[in-house]
Every structure is written in structure tokens, then in C-alpha cells.
Structure 1
Amino acid sequence: MTLLLAKRIALGVLIGGGLGFAYQRLIGCRTGTCPLTATPLRAILYGAVVGTVWALGSRSGS
């Protein structure tokens, strides 16, 4: 794995996790029954996975 790829994955995880947390806090689930945003940890993990997929999917720069 190249250093550039590792940086892109780390950035995707951080940005995705941060956006997942922000989504849970700002919009989130008011009743606690939403499967993805019921807890901050789930929202962060889901955001991190989506951020990783986005970072791996974009081909610019590699």
C-alpha cells in the first residue's frame, strides 16, 4: 500500500466519521429506533465506512 493511498483512506475514515457524528447530533434519530443513527457510535462507524468507500472509489490522484 502506498503512502498516498494510506493517507486517502485515513482521510476518508476521519471525514466520514466526523460527518456521521455530526449527522447523528444534528439530524439523528429522536426516538432511538433508527438502526443507523440511534447511537453516536453506529453513526460514526457508518460514516467511516462510507468515507472509506468514497476514498477508495475516487481515482483522481492515483
Structure 2
Amino acid sequence: MKKWLNNNKLYLFGAVLGAIGGYIYWQQVGCISGTCAITSKPLNSTLYGALMGSLLLGLFKKEEKSNSVHS
């Protein structure tokens, strides 16, 4: 478990930051009419922010190089 956490810490950190950002976006901007799919509910906005944050910070993860030769 500890190895998995170390390998995916950027994804997890991005998810936490994105979730906080998504919730703040819902709280400050939101959707008054309730017809917006993402910003109408705080759960939707928070989950979407977590997904976007993890994808964004996941771009900066360095992949390990392998020495195997593909033919």
C-alpha cells in the first residue's frame, strides 16, 4: 500500500486540490437555475474538480524507464 501511495502521490494531491477547487467553484459561482450538470450540486462539482486535478497533475509524473527491448 505504501508503495502504491508513493507511486501515485501526484494523482492524489491533484485530486485533493481539484476537489477543494471544485467545491469552492460551486460555492462562489454555482448554478442558480439547477440545470447545469456539473455545478448544480456540490458533489458533482467536487468530483469533477478532483478528476480534473488528478489528470492535470498526473501530466507531470515521470515514467520509469525500462531496459527491455521491444521488437
Q: TM-score, normalised by structure 2?
A: 0.75
Following TM superposition, where does structure 1 have runs of at least 4 consecutive aligned residues deviating by more than 2 angstroms?
none
**Number of residue pairs aligned between Structure 1 and Structure 2:** 59
Please list every run of 5 or more consecutive structure 2 residues that lacks an aligned counterpart in the other structure.
63-71
- Which one has the bigger helix percentage? 1
Percent pairwise identity: 31
Q: What is the aligned-residue RMSD (CA, Å)? A: 1.4
Please list every run of 5 or more consecutive structure 1 residues that lacks an aligned counterpart in the other structure.
none
- Larger relative contact order (Cα-Cα within 8 Å, sequence gap ≥ 6): 1
Q: Please say which structure displays the higher CA radius of gyration.
A: 2
Q: TM-score, normalised by structure 1?
A: 0.84
